[in-house]
Amino acid sequence: MPPMKHALLGASKAQQWLNCPPSVKWEQSFPEPDNTEAAAEGTLAHAIAEEHLRRLLAGKKVATSQKLKKDPLYRPVMEEHVDTYTTYVMELYSEAKQTTPDALLLLEERVDFSEYVPEGFGTSDVILIADGHMHIVDFKYGKGIPVDAAGNPQIRLYALGALDAYGILYRIDDVTMHIVQPRLDSISSETLAVAELFAWGDDVVRPRAALAAEGKGQHQAGEHCRWCRCKNVCRYFAMEQLEIARLRFSEPEHEERLPDELSPAEIAEILEGVDGLTRWAKSVKDWALDQAVNHGVIYPGFKVVEGRANRIITDESKAIDLLDGAGFTTDTITELKGIGALEEIVGKKLLSSLLGDLIVKPAGKPVLAREDNKRPALNSFAEAQAVFSQIRGED
């Protein structure tokens, strides 16, 4: 299994610190995000994959240990996705042995690339070395974002670390880097001559890593900001997102008036950036609410209020019996729609008399609202936290 310690300038964050060197030091002042279920699921899938590969290399039948199967995140479908990855690795190994009978296959190998990155290290899923050639294989279990091997700095750093460890022992002319993402049916590869990798390490990685280690260099917004802990307060990222929100129309010639209707090309410009813009806007709203509720931050012109909440029926089975007894057909009430829909069917007064004791309105989640909102502000930091805690408990 990969080591739990993480390097400040780790390979998995290389896209960020290579493009925006000062951000990695800056984000150390922000709390680390909680481990997500997706991350835990990926860790489990990697453990299953390693277990399967070790059994295959030992000539044993593939099987997943009961210890891993007892993990609450384990699903039988994981075996299928892992099989795609392990089959690919074993095919590479089989091909390598045809030309190099003593080809070396290493699993979950710690690699050190501190020659280029201060205290830089990571764990490579697979290193395969045959005559004159090295393969680096990275297993991605995620299904949200496709990851391409071409130009990928994470797997290139693994390659540099592997070359540092084994380049003296073996003649290696070039390296093929593979990323296997079975849940997206994606396998991508990139081959570079060793000289090209070394040049990238010297010319690109080393100077930017030195800046990043000291928290220096220029901020640069981009797709790499997606996982940065600073993104909700970063001026550079905000400027980029707000620029996306503006339509950068060319100046009309002479005194021509711009048409009232957006053209398909102008709408396409909006569509190009709208997903990132909406993600950023939601992230900033969530961040601001957390800061207001849990840290007492006050935002001028805004207040924390109790959010709207829908009324609910506390005992649906009893409610169905009562409505059925009042002459309403089971088909009408079986899926107890929203209270408003039931009021339309039954009538407000009758519904209240029949189910009044079963209808409650829970506390709404705290939200940030403008000062002129009619809802009263939650009067204190402690009150807002109490409401938030109540909601969390219900969830």
Identify the CA nearest to 1 among candidates 45, 46, 35, 42: 46
What pTM was estimated for this model as a whole?
0.72
DSSP 3-state of 30:
coil
23 and 171 share a domain? yes
142 or 105, higher pLDDT: 105
The pLDDT of 201-212, averaged and rounded, is 96
Q: What is the rounded average pLDDT of the residues 112-134?
A: 94
Question: Do the Cβ atoms of 134 and 104 come closer than 8 Å?
Answer: no
Whether 307 is covered by a domain: the verdict is no
Residue 366: partners with Cβ closer than 8 Å, 6 or more residues away? 289, 293, 304, 305, 306, 307, 378, 384, 387, 388, 391
Confidence at residue 1, expressed as pLDDT on a 0 to 100 scale: 42
For the chain, what is the mean pLDDT?
85
Long-range contacts of the stretch 69-77 (C-beta < 8 A, 24+): 71/44, 73/37, 73/40, 73/41, 73/44, 74/44
The DSSP code for 144 is S
Is residue 109 scored above 90 in pLDDT? yes
Query: In this model, does residue 358 exceed pLDDT 70?
Result: yes
Residues 175 and 236 in one domain: no
pLDDT at 255 over 60: no
273 domain-assigned: yes
Q: Supply the pLDDT for residue 2.
A: 41
- pLDDT tens per residue across span 28-50: 888 887 677 888 999 999 999 99
Q: What is the pLDDT at residue 81?
A: 95
Is 387 within the bounds of a domain?
Answer: no
Integer Cα distance of 55 and 60 in angstroms: 5
| DSSP-assigned beta bridge partners for residue 126 | 107, 137
Q: How many domains does the chain have?
A: 2
Q: Are the beta carbons of 157 and 117 closer than 8 angstroms? A: yes
Q: What is the pLDDT of residue 381?
A: 54
Asked whether residue 16 falls in the same domain as residue 132, the answer is: yes
Domain CATH code at residue 131? 3.90.320
Q: What is the pLDDT of residues 185-201, one digit of tens each?
A: 999 999 999 999 999 99
For residues 283 and 210, state if they share a domain. no
Classify residue 60: in a domain, yes or no.
yes
Q: Which of 229, 27, 12 is nearest to 125 (CA)?
A: 12
- The Cα 9–Cα 268 span in angstroms is 37
Each residue of 67-89: pLDDT tens digit?
999 999 999 999 999 999 999 99
Q: Minimal CA–CA distance to 303: which of 365, 367, 363? A: 367
User: What's the pLDDT at 4?
Assistant: 43
188 burial type by CB count under 10 A (0-12 exposed, 13-18 middle, 19+ buried): middle
- Whether residue 300 has pLDDT greater than 50: yes
Which of 297, 321, 353 is the C-terminal boundary of a domain? 297
pLDDT mean over 253-257: 59
Residue 321 lies in a domain: no
Q: How would residue 395 be classed by pLDDT, with cut points 50, 70 and 90?
A: very low
| Per-residue pLDDT band at 369 (split at 50, 70, 90) | confident
Residue 253 structure tokens: 């010639």
**One-letter amino acid for residue 137 of the chain:** V
In a domain, 331, yes or no: no
Lowest average pLDDT, out of 119-123, 202-206, 364-368, goes to 364-368
**Are 170 and 200 in a shared domain?**
yes
Residue 387 has pLDDT above 70, yes or no: no
123 closest CA partner among 89, 167, 161: 161
What's the one-letter identity of residue 372? Answer: D
Average pLDDT over residues 102-122: 94
Residues 282 and 189 in one domain: no
pLDDT at 318: 83
Residues 135, 235 within the same domain: no
265 is a domain residue: yes
pLDDT of residue 246 exceeding 70, the answer is no
Looking at the fold, whether 46 and 88 belong to one and the same domain comes out as yes
Q: What is the pLDDT of residues 155-164, one digit of tens each?
A: 999 999 999 9
Query: What pLDDT, on the 0 to 100 scale, is given for residue 215?
Result: 92
pLDDT of residue 249 exceeding 50, the answer is no
Residues 169, 287: one domain?
A: no
Q: Between 172 and 386, where is the model more confident?
A: 172
Percent of the chain surpassing pLDDT 70? 88
Q: Are 128 and 121 in contact (CB under 8 A)?
A: no
Which of these, 394, 343, 336, 344, lies nearest to 365 by C-alpha position?
A: 394
What pLDDT, on the 0 to 100 scale, is given for residue 345?
76
pLDDT for residue 290: 85
Domain-located, residue 6 = no
Please tell me whether residues 196 and 153 are part of one structural domain.
Answer: yes
More confident residue, 390 or 165: 165
Residues 198 and 269 in one domain: no
> Hunting for tokens 């960020």 — which residue is that?
16
Kindly state the average pLDDT of the residues 250-275.
71
Domain boundaries, position 33:
11-214
User: Are 195 and 291 in a shared domain?
Assistant: no
**Cα-based torsion angle of the residue sequence 329, 335, 338, 339 in order, rounded to the nearest 10 degrees:** 40
Task: Judge whether 115 and 125 are in contact, CB under 8 Å.
Answer: no
> Which residue stretches of the chain are H helix?
14-19, 22-26, 37-57, 66-69, 77-99, 153-166, 194-200, 206-214, 235-245, 264-295, 316-325, 330-333, 339-346, 348-355, 381-394
Per-residue model confidence as pLDDT tens digits over 308-339 = 777 778 887 787 778 877 877 656 555 566 77
Residue 353 CA: distances (Å) to CA of 319, 336, 349: 12, 17, 6
Higher pLDDT: 369 or 172? It is: 172
